[in-house]
Each structure stands twice: as C-alpha cells, then as structure tokens.
Amino acid sequence: MLNFLSSGNQKQIVGIALTPGIGLEAVILDKTKTTVLNYGCKKVEYNFSTREIQDYVQFKTALVDLMDEMKILPKTPVYLILPNVYFDFLEIPPGISDPEIKTAVLSKAEEFYIFKRDEPVSGWCEVINSQGGAQKKIAYTSFQKSAVDEIKEIISDIGLHLIGIESAYSATLRGLYITGYLNDIILEEASWTAMLINTNSYTLFQLAGKNLIDYSEVPLAIKSFSMEEAYQAIVSSSEQLLSNFSSTNLFIISQTDDICAEVLKRQMQFDREITAIDSNKYSKKTLMDVLSATDYNAANSMTLGVISAASYKNDFGLILNVLQDDPTANLGIYFTTNILGTNLEVTSSLVDKLTVLIIILCAIIFGILIGLCKFVDIQGQNNISDLNNQIQTIDAQINAENQGEKKEEIDMNVVIDEIAASNVTTINFYDSIATDIPKNIWLTRYYNQAGDKISVRGIAESIVDIYEYYKNLRIVSPQSDIKLTELKVVTEDMKSEDNKFLNNLSIDQDNDRLYSFEISNTQIQFNQDEDSRNEQTKNENDIIIKSNTTEIEQTSQQMKPAK
C-alpha cells in the first residue's frame, strides 16, 4: 500500500546542470535513485566574467532539443544546477525568523561586486557551527535576479515546470552522497574534504559526516598555465589549506578538461585516502549505470551536480534552492511524513490517490454489504419457504385430524339423554326421598346401591300411612320392583335400631302404637342387629358400600307424633 501511494507521489524530476566546458546536461533517474534512465548533453556557453549564461537563445534551443530527444513531457518538474556565483556562511542569533534571515542573507550578498548592479536572489539552510557558541550558522548561495527571471521565463515557454535553481557547490556534495561514495564515511561520521576543480578556480569543502563545516575558494587561471604548472599550482596552493582540515578522506572532483583528477591524486602530498572523480574527457566510466543516452561517450563526463538535481531531496540535506520561497516552483507537496520507515510526501497527487482509494474501498465495502444483504435475504426467503412448508404440513395434519374428529363427533344432547335414560331408575329412587311423606311417617334408614337397589326403613302411626307412602314410591318409580318387606309393631323390648330411635322421641309408648316398616328390593334386612348386618354385608361382597350409599339417620322434622 505504501509503495502504491508513494509511486504516484514521487514525481519524476528531470535534473539539469550547466557546467562550463561540458555544456547543458539532463538526467532522469529511476525511483530507486541507483540507475540513470536517460541522459542527454548539449553545448551551451557560460560567461565567467558576468557569471551567467552566455547566450540564452542557445540555452533555450539546447533545452528544447534535450526535451525532444529524451521524450520529456510538458509540465515535467525540472531542477537546474548553475555554476556558483556567490557562496558563503552567515552567523545569526538563534530564534531569528525566516524573513529576518532572508534580509540578512541578501544584505551580505549585496556586498559582492556582481550584485552592485543586479539584485540578488538567495537560498539558504542551517549548518553545524564548528566554533560552537550560541550563534546559528547559515550556508547560502546567491544568483542575479535578472538571470533567474530569464531562465524561469524560458523554461515556462518550453512548457516545463521549474522547481529549483541551485549552485554546483552544494549539489556536488549531495551528488557524492547519492552515488554512494560517502557510505562508510557517513556511517562512521568521519571528517572528509572535497576538492572541486573548475576552469578558473578550485574550492575545498570541509565536512564532518553530513555537516558542512567550512569552505575555501581559490581563484586559479588554469588555462594560463602549462599542464604541469597547473598541477603544481593546485598542489602547492592547497597544501596549506589541507593542513588546516583534519580529514580522513579527500575527494578530488575535476570538471575541466585541463586537469585529470587521477593525475592530480598521484601528485598530492596528502597522507589520507584520496578518491579521484573525473567529469571530463579523462573519465573512463559513468558515475552511475546508464540505461539510455543521446551520447554514451558524453555520459562518461556526467557531473555529480546533475545527478543531485534529479534527486535533490534526500537524507544528506544541504539544499540551497534560490526558488524556495517561489510559489510557482512548488511541487505540490503539502508536507512529508514517515510511515513505517517510508518517507511519504503528501501532495495533491497523493490526496487524489487517497480519494480514489477511499472511493474504491467504499465501493467494495458497499458491494460486500449488498452481497451480504442479498445472501441474508435469500437465506431468509428459504427459511420462510421452509416454515411455510412446515405450516402447510401441520395444517394438513390438523385438517386430517379435524376430519377424523368430525367423523367421531359426539352430540352432547344425545349423551345427556343417554345418561339420563340409563339413570332414570336411580334418579327416580333418589327422588323417592323427596316424595310426599305422610304426616305420621318417619324415615329412619335409606340405602341405595348401584342406583336400583334400595331399602327404606321407617316408623309410622298407622298402617294406612305406610301404605300411602308405599303407593307414592310406586308412583315415582313404577318400573321398580320394590315391595313392603316388613311391617311390625314397635315394642319397648325390641333390640333394634327402631327402639333406639324411639328413645329420642317424645311418644307415650303405653297409649300410642307405632309400626316399623321396610320397603325394599334387596335382600338386606334392617331387623338384623348391627353386627349380623355388617357381617352379612361383608359376606355379600360389600353390597352396601358406604361411599356409594346414602344413609339417612337423622330424625325427620315429622318425628314428633300427633297427640
């Protein structure tokens, strides 16, 4: 994901460098910054006296040709390296603002003779102050504003996007870092020195790791010397300066055909490690692998500055872009952030990519949700269908059972009638209790077993009354076979329940005659004593069962006989 985001975010920058004696170079690097994808070079003259491009028409023509030959598209960002015009250090108090730094830098630059007649434009950055103390040390470079405006107009007319202009000094030091010459030195944070040789001067830079500490520029009209004299002049004039630099490594970079870095290396009286780099006719190989070039021989003279221009933003720092405050030179980078060890520049392109990515993710999530909803809907429909099938099955079973129940439907009226018909005898016998009882009859016992086995025992004052009651019973239950099974006079000495019953009545037994009777259709005889009747009942398989027997033992309200 980070690679995808960084891919469109890291815009392809074309590095352009104008180097006296070499011409106008153009380089396109791959994204890994280890291979040159394309290289081109065209002849362009530089005026050392005025310190600017000799012919701007020639410059424009060369740039157009490079653009066509290298197939550079319009609006492509370009970063331009020019020969140094003015380079210096400035110490300022800490906490000073950028506008104040700009004012201080321009004031210092205006002291240089070139800027007595032309306004300067400068770029700067903070460097390490080897002296320590509270002051901040600023390295800066300056060019003529008129020259910068002319270059900006030309590049704009061509259709390219100029994002920076910088001095060859700081660009060459960054180029050493990009090409890998400083890997071990940076790792060990060792001190080192770079000697940059041009047609009319050479410059010494002292650094500690990535930090620029000091520099010295020595004017030298190399072309006025013979070849041997030129080498000796450089060696002799640099000995004192190098003795002041406590360096472990010396890099000799020659950008003129008058000096071979390898030859100079052998003549240097320097007891440290020396590395020779030729960007001239003496170079036998390119600084980096080149995949494509308009002239492969010219590629051998490729400068460190043009490589740095194609990758001006890197971990080395020391960027002195004079267009750093120019809004038209903005690459569209809002800010840079580090995610999982990857530097990510937040640009308008990145914002666009993120927007597209978010839209795609939302579309995917929306599609997934729709798919899930459809899946759930299908599952729900299937479940509903299954439930409907189950309901139909249950309904069918219920209907079948209802049909069966209808076939066996019971008419309760019929049932009630059947029950009433089957129990009419029992009901009639029970109703016999409520039959009109003559005034002079008292019922003492009533048994009913199985509905149609009854016995009624009582006492009466006359036989007529007994007969009347018997007749009433026959009227209530005409279908029964009840009979008057006993009739006798009640005497005082009778050991029977009748006698016990008489004891509870206010009857004059001497004058009043009473009769006991029994009306029954069963073999139970009430004249037996209690023990013999219980035994008989037991022997007859409990014909009389208390739970199914209605027994009337309480005295009737009619018990009191008439006087």
Domains by residue range for the chain, with CATH: 10-179+287-331 (3.30.420.380), 185-281 (3.30.420.60), 420-548 (no CATH)
Query: pLDDT tens across 504-517, in order?
Result: 665 665 566 788 88
Q: Which positions ≥6 away from 322 have C-beta within 8 Å?
A: 121, 122, 123, 141, 142, 143, 148, 164, 165, 166
Q: What is the pLDDT of residue 458?
A: 86
Q: Which two tokens stand for residue 135?
A: 């002051």
Q: In 279-394, at which residue ranges do the beta strands (DSSP E only) sit?
A: 289-290, 333-339, 342-347
| Cα–Cα distance for residue pair 550/67, rounded to 1 Å | 132
Helices (H) and strands (E) in the chain, counts: 16, 22
Q: What is the pLDDT of residue 226?
A: 87
| Cα–Cα distance for residue pair 476/433, rounded to 1 Å | 10
Residue labelled with tokens 């009979």: 483
How far are the Cα atoms of 7, 350, 532, 553 from residue 355, in angstroms, in the given order? 15, 8, 115, 107
From first to last of its 563 residues, the chain has per-residue pLDDT tens of: 544 444 444 568 899 999 998 999 999 998 777 899 999 999 999 998 899 999 999 999 999 999 999 999 998 999 999 999 999 998 888 888 888 888 888 888 888 888 888 899 999 988 876 555 677 888 999 999 999 999 999 999 999 999 999 999 999 999 999 998 998 888 888 899 999 999 888 999 998 888 898 899 998 888 888 888 889 999 998 888 888 878 889 999 999 999 999 999 999 888 889 999 999 999 988 999 999 888 888 899 999 999 999 987 878 888 999 998 888 777 655 445 666 656 555 665 667 777 888 899 888 998 898 888 888 888 888 888 888 888 888 888 888 777 765 555 566 677 677 766 666 666 666 666 666 677 778 888 887 766 667 788 888 888 888 888 888 877 776 666 788 888 888 765 554 555 666 666 656 655 667 888 888 887 765 444 444 444 444 444 333 333 333 333 333 343 333 33
Q: What is the pLDDT of residue 555?
A: 36
- Of 183, 191, 195, the C-alpha closest to 209 is 191
- Which amino acid, residue 88? D
Q: What is the pLDDT of residue 364?
A: 92
| Cα–Cα distance for residue pair 226/472, rounded to 1 Å | 175
| Cα–Cα distance for residue pair 516/499, rounded to 1 Å | 10
| Cα–Cα distance for residue pair 315/337, rounded to 1 Å | 14
Q: What is the pLDDT of residue 558?
A: 39
Q: What is the pLDDT of residue 250?
A: 93
